Amino acid sequence: MNYTKEKLQTLPAIKGKPTDFDVIVRTLADKVFTNKEISLAEKKIVCGIVQNLRNAKGEIIINIHDYSSCKNYLFRNRNFYIHYCLRVFIES
Going by pLDDT thresholds of 50, 70 and 90, the confidence category of residue 13 is: low
Q: What pLDDT was estimated at residue 92? A: 58
**73: nearest Cα among 22, 13, 28:** 28
- For residues 50 and 70, the answer to whether their CB atoms sit within 8 Å is yes
Comparing 23 with 79, which gets the higher pLDDT?
A: 23
Mean pLDDT of all residues in 83-90:
65
Going by pLDDT thresholds of 50, 70 and 90, the confidence category of residue 30 is: very high
For residue 65, the tally of other CB atoms under 10 A from its CB is: 12
Q: What pLDDT was estimated at residue 36? A: 92
Tell me the pLDDT tens digit for each residue of 37-83. Answer: 998 888 888 888 888 888 899 888 888 888 888 887 766 555 555 66
Question: The domain containing residue 77 runs over which residues?
Answer: 5-91
How many domains is the chain partitioned into structurally?
1
Q: What is the pTM of this model?
A: 0.64
DSSP designation for 60: B
Runs of H (alpha helix) within the chain: 5-10, 21-33, 40-51, 71-76, 80-91
